[in-house]
Amino acid sequence: MVSVSNGDCRICGVKLGKTAMKNHVLKKHADEANGEVCGLFKIEGAYNKNYWLLVDVAIDKPLSVLDSFLRQIWLECCEHLSAFRVGNSEIEKNRKISSLPIGAIFTHEYDFGSTTELLITIVAGVRRPKQRDAVRLLARNTPPVRTCVKCGASATQICTECMYDSENPFFCDACCEEHNEIHECALPAVNSPRMGVCGYDGEHDVWDI
């Protein structure tokens, strides 16, 4: 079964829930004197909000830098197209972060066939020490603990056929080999709302290390 824990602050290591983590970041890590001005973004799986990120993004950068970050940490499998949207209206990726108001809520879609949709909220304006990268990961949900449906060991694989009609489609490596004699559709169990979709295996995600 899947058990979703809280999240980890990537700056100080504290473990908190999503809302408490947002408040923690705003209180402890958002007011660097003379730092660069950023937007604080909360990003969640649109259909599974147990997957979440808090990031800050320099306001002089375009939305394309956030698209690239999301592809790396959560989405990229086959170089699919993507888009930011407010309702049915697309937001151009060259639009500057500074042009988006605090409190704005919009979506990000990756892959217009087997789409993974994210919900994005600009929480606040913040200041941070100068960074090399435009997008900085501040906090992320702790990787879910999953157990093998067959033996109860830690699960490492998800069956992409069973995931739509089984309460627990997860397997350890050994049980997955046996299961694959029937269903040859296993993918790694990863910390992403795109888990089990298309060919996503999390290979670009270096933030879970």
The answer to whether residues 32 and 73 belong to one domain is yes
Do the domain assignments include residue 37? Answer: yes
Write the pLDDT tens digit of every residue in 120-153.
999 999 999 999 999 999 999 999 999 999 999 9
60 and 157 co-located in one domain: no
Both tokens of 132, joined, read 């090399």
Residue 61 confidence (pLDDT) above 50:
yes
Asked if the structure places residue 175 within a domain, the reply is yes
Are 65 and 137 in the same domain?
yes
Section 165-187 average pLDDT? 86
- Give the tens place of pLDDT for each residue, 62-92: 999 999 999 999 999 999 999 999 999 999 9
How far apart, in Å, do the first and last CA atoms of the chain sit?
Answer: 23
| 195: in domain | no
Report the domain count for the chain.
2
The H-or-E segment that residue 204 falls in is: none
- List helix spans (H) across 71-168: none
- Is position 97 within any domain? yes
Same domain as 183, residue 84: no
Counting residues of the chain whose pLDDT is more than 90, the rounded percentage is 87
Position 41 confidence tier, pLDDT thresholds 50, 70, 90: very high
Cα 62 to Cα 67, 111, 152, 178, distances in angstroms: 9, 21, 46, 47
184 with 137, same domain: the answer is no
> Has residue 203 been placed in a domain?
no
Task: Report the sign of the C-alpha dihedral through residues 208, 190, 188, 57, in that order.
Answer: negative
Task: Calculate mean pLDDT across residues 158-180.
Answer: 90
C-alpha dist (Å) from residue 87 to 5, 83, 84, 105: 31, 12, 10, 10
Side-chain half-sphere CA neighbours of 209 within 13 A: 7
Whether 113 and 62 share a structural domain: yes
Residues 70 and 127 in one domain: yes
Pair 114, 182 in one domain: no
Q: Are residues 59 and 157 in the same domain?
A: no
- Residue 163 makes CB contacts below 8 A (sequence gap 6+) with 169, 196
Same domain for 91 and 162?
no
110 and 162 in a single domain? The answer is no
Confidence of residue 182 (pLDDT cuts 50, 70, 90): low
- Structural domain harbouring 176: 145-188
- CA distances in angstroms from 138 to 10, 153, 165, listed in the order given: 5, 31, 35
